[in-house]
Amino acid sequence: MKILVINSGSSSIKYQLIDMADESVMVSGLVERIGEEQGVMTHKAYPGTDREAVVKLEQPIPDHSVGLKLAIDLTSSGENAVCSLDEIKAVGHRVVAGGENFSAPVVVTPEMMEELKDTERLAPLHNPANLGGAREAMALFPGVPQVLVFDTAFHQTIPPHAFMYALPYEYYEEDHIRRYGAHGTSHKYVAGECARLMDKPLDELNVITIHMGNGASMAAVKDGKCVDTSMGLTPLEGLVMGTRSGDVDPAVHNYLAVNRGMDIATIDNVLHKESGLKGLCGMNDMRDIHAAIEKGDERAELALGVQTYRTRKYIGSYMAVLGRVDAVVFTAGIGENDSIVRRKTMEGLEPFGMKIDVQANDKRAKEPMLISTGDSPVAIWVIPTNEELAIARETRDIVNG
Ligand code: AMP
């Protein structure tokens, strides 16, 4: 069974074709700058193997439909074709927010698309583009099941005492304001991988998963189920991110409005796009921040300090939530690649049984790595995430019933 996985963003489409027989990637690609004067596309057949063939295109790509069509054409025709179109038995789509009504993957119908419009306000930067991709794919693959896999689904086991905000109750009842979380597909995938690597049944594993990329979130997973997560109603709450503030005093909004005369839209934009690491030091890529620290940049040092301290604070609170912690897992762009961030995050947690092995932590690998010492009661892992494979598996499972 071959499954196409699509992650449709506001001006980009990421896609992979996965052969579920051996879970190998037959095609991977990225279409960028959709709607701009010049679009850019990189398409790889059999990526990472000795058969790899790369096609790079630069041409106007006016909309997502054109981008998706290009991807499909390169996959199924011409010299780099890997299969015919009718071999693609299902398409899986990443959707950031499912709200309360979509707590598991679904085969989407046109009626459902109407209902899903309501979720767009929960992730205004992501959901319209995610759902737009699904709409285009429905038109391009008539009769092929289109499965939506929601980033919020894994968090639906969070109990009310953890998902409720202490606001007037009717805001929950009428406006559905509550914690939903995000990155659930990634948290679920690495928790599953962690159980496999530790040779423990997932439903007996207590793990803290840290997805730390440009966006960042954590999950407390008890007996294999998510019981708390750091993102909230939207993906703004929680950890310090590339450009997102994470936790701030909610009174900041009023303070900025009164003292700086800013309106709500401007404040929202600042918290999403001008804050986080970028707000603190002007840079949102951790590699640039390390380079600046080397040159003595004190703001860059501060940004690293704030970011790692916030993460450590969440680890502490999730230890209290879980009681017993078997493992801590780092994943995503920073989590997988940045040994300094990992070391600084775990600093001072030795008395709680979390002992990092500095040499193991300094190694680099594309494979999962155990980075705790042999006598550390809590295992500390680096586990590369693979959201595409996770979406493909969910898609296969739902299509196969
Ligand atoms: P993601 O959102 O998971 O793709 O992660 C992207 C972020 O990961 C970038 O903005 C960088 O901050 C960070 N990153 C990627 N590669 C490295 C690396 N080799 N070392 C440190 N940080 C990295």
Who contacts 253 (Cβ-Cβ below 8 Å, separation ≥6)? 264, 267
Q: Is 151 a catalytic residue?
A: yes
Q: Are residues 141 and 203 in the same domain?
A: no
- The total domain count for the chain is 2
Residue 173 lies in a domain: no
Residue 177 lies in a domain: no
* Cα end-to-end span (Å), the chain: 14
CA 200–ligand 1 middle distance (angstroms):
30
Q: Are residues 224 and 125 in the same domain?
A: no
Q: Are residues 146 and 16 in the same domain?
A: yes
Q: Are residues 299 and 364 in the same domain?
A: yes
Q: Are residues 81 and 216 in the same domain?
A: no
Q: Which residues of the chain have pLDDT under 50?
A: none
CA 242–ligand 1 middle distance (angstroms):
9
Does the beta carbon of 133 sit less than 6 angstroms from any atom of ligand 1?
no
Say whether 97 sits in a helix, a strand or coil: coil
pLDDT at 138: 92
Q: Are residues 144 and 213 in the same domain?
A: no
pLDDT at 216: 97
Q: Are residues 208 and 277 in the same domain?
A: yes
Domain termination site, one of 131, 150, 169: 150
Of 286, 344, 382, the residue with max ligand 1 atoms within 8 A of its CB, to mutate for a pocket test, comes to 286
Query: pTM for the full model?
Result: 0.94
Say whether 56 sits in a helix, a strand or coil: strand
User: CATH number, domain at 357?
Assistant: 3.30.420.40
Q: Are residues 216 and 146 in the same domain?
A: no
C-alpha atoms less than 13 angstroms from C-alpha of 85 in its C-beta half-sphere: 14
Say whether 43 sits in a helix, a strand or coil: strand
Determine whether 366 is exposed, middle or buried from the number of CB atoms within 10 Å of its CB (0-12, 13-18, 19+): exposed
Structure tokens at 398: 């739902």
How far apart CA 141 and CA 23 sit, in angstroms, is 22
pLDDT at 334: 97
Residue 352 lies in a domain: yes
CA 190–ligand 1 middle distance (angstroms):
17
pLDDT at 365: 84
Who contacts 88 (Cβ-Cβ below 8 Å, separation ≥6)? 2, 3, 4, 17, 141, 144
Structure tokens at 297: 């940049």
pLDDT at 340: 98
Q: Are residues 122 and 253 in the same domain?
A: no
Structural domain range at position 337:
199-387
Q: Which of 73, 86, 151, 297 is flagged as catalytic?
A: 151
How far apart CA 325 and CA 87 sit, in angstroms, is 44
Q: Are residues 40 and 145 in the same domain?
A: yes
Domain termination site, one of 150, 171, 187: 150
Q: Which of these, 10, 6, 9, lies nearest to 28 by C-alpha position?
A: 6
